[in-house]
Structure 1
């Protein structure tokens, strides 16, 4: 059985009883939106963007797990409908940076602050374990830190004890317990090890393994599986907290309750007495408050942009299904790509006579990896501003699967080790099948296209399927011509460009075989209708 893929959700649309304000983040299985209830409560709304039965089951399990957890140090579930045509879950919105973001921006924590954070994380684990769950992916990026105390998030691979898988280990290698790295059953003690690894990162600025930046993925996996950590350089005052958590033997690790008690003893007045961020370094407090202020301003702007009284369109699959799935009219194409379809190298563009003077477009689609249905079937694509600026960057290399989160990891669980990706240079497709690493060259940024069109190629001898064409403004057209001329003719993956949004989202990768002048380019061909529709929408088609 198959379900419809998740819809493109725009500000003003409704999911359940919540009105979407803006997109917050994108991941392999879902997107997270900022949304608001009829009563004005702000939530983080997660939707499933894939359509397989397995993914729907995983999402339903995530909802069940998150609903079972109750604690001040976890993000609570407000409402959810995992059985909807587009499954969704609304959680408490926490406008705070992650521990990873804070360490990268502000440096490591001192002893008192680290014990305070550790106590909050241990209390979160106690809540989770009391509910009969194991998180299985504790790491710095999965812990948010408002000044009130840490919040543990992302229960995507949490499982009840009787559902723990033995065939594969999940999570991030650098923070995984030895038994998890070996693919063995995971229990509460596995989360404690990951907590200890995260605390070491807060204290030292690196995971607890020597020379991790030089390690291959398989070497890191072997060290993690054998428990060969390296905690050199750790402040002796932190030994009593972190060393026991990193014991290779799960039975020797402390429980979350024991950790809370230990931290309370160190802090004297206990974690509750240090609420409000008073124990944090001034740099951390300033960064947290700045992040909160930025998110608050963005929330106000989203509400003002949406308008208090504007009607919200339904985002449910049941409402208006016929209209959204009606075939879109095919605009007359201004370019047609010819050439061998399977090689990934397309020939020169054969233009209609009325546009014979326009330069040839020679970009060839290598992979379009986002999937969403047509939002407005009657649209032919017009000038518009993307939700986020679109960057076009030179490709250095590519690899299958999700880009590692700043560390060496693997394509699926731990089965296929892959090299680390330099921070800020990895972009992953929405279907999790491709990671593109971009070069350090500046590339170009497009804040607005002059025109974006999705059209069906129905010409005799054409490529067939759907295509997406963009038209640049004059200044961007010059930059694009220079960029394509620089990339064309290179060897390997470096003859390609990545079209990206945000910090890690790959929209499309295209191969360039010649300089593209004239301000127009067909950047994707031979797509499904839904694929072309979403790419056009992401690029700003209105």
Structure 2
């Protein structure tokens, strides 16, 4: 076991390596304080492992090993150091329609394998599809079920991507997965759910729109219509099978026999983001391995911090997502907070005092690759992760400061995240800023998020973001999410 990747109310996920050197993700089930696993929890975990082991194919994350009867039940799956489709759309903007067939082919083939194993996935969505350079991987079979079972009265899945019959609590079938795949394709090329008004109103109101198949397909590029529209047919019987989708896509792939991977199909920004993610995750795994290697180099442990010094970890960059609605383009809304409180030692070197830093959100005016130089007039900020220098606008209507959040707290769905709520006036100002950004061309459709003199992120915006609530995530562990909440004033 090398490092903790995530944890939640039911279990934890660890990065690990086998004795032979294979890197895997190990999902474990939490035990009680006395080390006991509830029988029902163990049965559910065993069922998930058994179902996942039935799936074979190049476009799913394979099960390496599992033991549901162990004192701490666990499942080890292939570790895929790649961003999700959701993350890529949020950080890079919608996918050009001409690049869709490559991703569609891999995901359709994954569904062929899942359905051939007698399963229905029931939660196909952008965050459950990872995209390494050699093709997509469908993951997370946590709510899958055998296709020959009847299950009614329960609407599972994620509302913006669930089939209408699924939202109504009717039996889910392989055709339900096809609808969700079509909704995912729609999101890839437009940046939103195909349902009308997702993200507006309560979760129940949104569920009702999905149950009534209230679709809004405006903005779908012509080049994607032939592939997407049949999948979104209201009647399950009218949707194509995954095999039929593959047959539709095959001539497109055959016309480009030299194109095999992300660099051949995707925009430069997408393929670069995939490679950066792979390199970063691989380096993190190697560094974790060295910490545990008995033959590895050792170093003196640094002295402990003074007992009364409070140190908060710098939060990892995070990506915005709506709690129940579609992703509308702003990623890494990381420190929309009560002034970005940090703690520093006072002049007496004893009790830490909170020091309020200036938090700003501003439209990007210019962006250039490389470190900031005299080429761009100030104010400029450097994005170390993206190796880009940004010049931000100084006009009053192009920027805002956030003095205090209405609420901030840690949440867990499939991963830990931080839910932040603006006060009404700040929410309106932020919506206006995102609306203004969405009407501009790249890179001026980006919003720089700055804390003090540090650039947190410069996400692209594809549509205005209404409402006062934003859910942010960043591959957090529980401790990291809690620390961010505390830093934000929660």
Coarse TM-score class (shorter-chain normalised): 0.5 to 0.7
Are positions 1:66 and 2:52 aligned together?
Answer: yes
1:100-119 per-residue CA deviation (whole Å, 9 max, x = no partner) reads 00001111111231111011
Select which of 313, 317, 322 maps to 1:389. Answer: 313
State the 1:163 CA deviation.
Answer: 3.6
Aligned alpha-carbon RMSD (Å):
3.8
3-state SS, counterpart of residue 75 of structure 1:
coil
Which residue does the alignment assign to 2:87?
101
Which residue does the alignment assign to 2:324?
408
Which residue does the alignment assign to 1:253?
239
Q: Distance in 2 between matches of 1:189 and 1:240?
A: 17
Runs of 4+ in structure 1 deviating by more than 4 angstroms, as ranges, are 270-273, 382-388, 422-426, 473-476, 493-501
1:16-44 per-residue CA deviation (whole Å, 9 max, x = no partner) reads xxxx1111223442221110001111111
1:171-195 per-residue CA deviation (whole Å, 9 max, x = no partner) reads 1000000010000110100000000
Q: Distance in 2 between matches of 1:261 and 1:387?
A: 57
Q: Distance in 1 between matches of 2:56 and 2:125?
A: 20
State the 1:273 CA deviation.
Answer: 4.7
Select which of 441, 444, 450 maps to 2:338. Answer: 441
Q: Distance in 2 between matches of 1:276 and 1:405?
A: 24
Are positions 1:234 and 2:220 aligned together?
Answer: yes
Preserved contact between residue 112 and residue 243 of structure 2 (Cα < 8 Å): yes
State the 1:97 CA deviation.
Answer: 0.2
Preserved contact between residue 264 and residue 271 of structure 1 (Cα < 8 Å): no
Q: Structure 2 vs 1, CA of residues 68 and 249 (structure 1 numbering), >3 Å: closer, same or farther?
A: same
Q: Distance in 2 between matches of 1:272 and 1:408?
A: 40
Which residue does the alignment assign to 1:349?
none
State the 1:386 CA deviation.
Answer: 12
Are positions 1:54 and 2:45 aligned together?
Answer: no
Select which of 77, 85, 94 maps to 1:91. Answer: 77
Preserved contact between residue 111 and residue 238 of structure 1 (Cα < 8 Å): yes
1:290-343 per-residue CA deviation (whole Å, 9 max, x = no partner) reads 001101111121112222448xxxxxxxxxxxxxxxxxxxxxxxxxxxxxxxxx
Q: Distance in 2 between matches of 1:387 and 1:199?
A: 43
State the 1:88 CA deviation.
Answer: 0.5
- Structure 2's unaligned 5+ residue stretches are 32-36, 297-305, 358-403, 420-477, 484-490
Which residue does the alignment assign to 1:185?
171
Higher CA-based Rg: 1
1:262-281 per-residue CA deviation (whole Å, 9 max, x = no partner) reads 11123334789533541111
1:221-272 per-residue CA deviation (whole Å, 9 max, x = no partner) reads 1110011111101111211110110111000000000111111123334789
Are positions 1:285 and 2:271 aligned together?
Answer: yes
State the 1:153 CA deviation.
Answer: 0.5
Q: Distance in 1 between matches of 2:223 and 2:21?
A: 46
Which residue does the alignment assign to 2:422?
none
Q: Distance in 2 between matches of 1:388 and 1:76?
A: 37
Q: Distance in 2 between matches of 1:82 and 1:97?
A: 28
Are positions 1:36 and 2:36 aligned together?
Answer: no
How many residues were matched structurally? 355
Are positions 1:151 and 2:137 aligned together?
Answer: yes
Q: 1:421-432 residue pairs with structure 2 within 5 A?
A: none
Preserved contact between residue 308 and residue 352 of structure 2 (Cα < 8 Å): no
Which residue does the alignment assign to 2:180?
194
Q: Distance in 2 between matches of 1:237 and 1:308?
A: 55
Select which of 112, 120, 124 maps to 1:134. Answer: 120
Q: Structure 2 vs 1, CA of residues 497 and 231 (structure 1 numbering), >3 Å: closer, same or farther?
A: closer
Deviation larger for 90-99 or 263-272: 263-272
State the 1:75 CA deviation.
Answer: 0.6
Preserved contact between residue 116 and residue 271 of structure 1 (Cα < 8 Å): no
